[in-house]
Chain A
């Protein structure tokens, strides 16, 4: 019997509390998601029953831990439709994945005069690694422009991606504007020009079905904690032939094949990238989170969030003095909604909302060039997940109205 979407909320004990004497309304999911009991229990079970180091013990616990650790690779591969489990590299998160592509693939394939193309939408973790790579190699970092509503400008993409382009790296879903990029189209463009396509999946993997083959990406990175796994675990997927060719970045235990006094050979991918003892409990938690999401079905998760956006976006736009960034058409807007209130700094707004029990993010969202593009210093941001409901969205709308009232009338 399939559970109703409204029933999943009960799996998250953290949501059942009051904050500042008000029921908690957690709308900071783009920063990190809450963890269902199933994930916490999987980690507890691992520590209570199976804890051992992986890949190197002959004893039973080591074997059990290794099996669980490696089984998650299969789950991840299936979850993002990767053709092979050996293309799944464990990382500590999206940032590390993108940094590895820049530092390992980038420094061996990018030369002076080459172009690296990203967009104005990018999170700093899909911007700074490329900036550093460009600086180190003498490559040129170029930006794809956005349309006035924040969608990627495909004309600009066609102009920016040229035969000199070595790497195109884009986010699949914006952590600020709620837009979802047409990765398949951009990947086709990149490949026409002999470039590779790198995708930042931090904001997309938790919210809708991801298929790395269908989008024809070359690398895809995402974080566990945004899809209800613990912090400190993430995945870098890469095409086998590209991973095979990449030098490891961390040398030491576990990643080696044979060590002699003056030379060492390494294991094959993905293990050559996983030097040192890995975040084993994190991997187990990631497996449990993927099981949890798969049991619900990503299509249902997406549909649920879209229904909330269909209510929330127009409701916010109706409040006088509220500016919503990104597309105003709910069909083009995922569950990340950035906004400002006229005459109020988003930090003041976020503090006021917190007093009403509503947790939102305020700031530049690690996207300072995008803030500059929007011509704002910062925004407030509400972001949804599968356990949010209509009451949460309504409470946000009410709390914003109350905040406006408070600051407009100086009730002090």
Chain B
């Protein structure tokens, strides 16, 4: 099996694992894990086409935020329930570990390289979800406002 397939499957399993750790209701388990799978697929697709960590994380985390908001509307739950399992595969655990490991080894070149990657990951995730939430709330407000005006007429 290629590494990509393993990553997608393990992202699905990892998302399910985290959903269980956070005591999710079993009826939401499957959809929460599918969020993790989709976010990993999107990350890999963007990564192969643009080869930029920041942009891949940005797009993928923005997707997670929208996915969670949509699911939250459908199932009437807080969006966090679907958001956390979806986004968890994007957390830069690997590069965080190597950053600190090269720090101890005193390899300043690799340390700064991995440190930058970790920072870019975190920044990409933060920017992606921030932008997605901002757009989501704007659109939501516009729709409710327009609906209100139509009702008044």
Q: Do A and B bind each other?
A: no
Interface residues of B (CB under 8 A from A): none
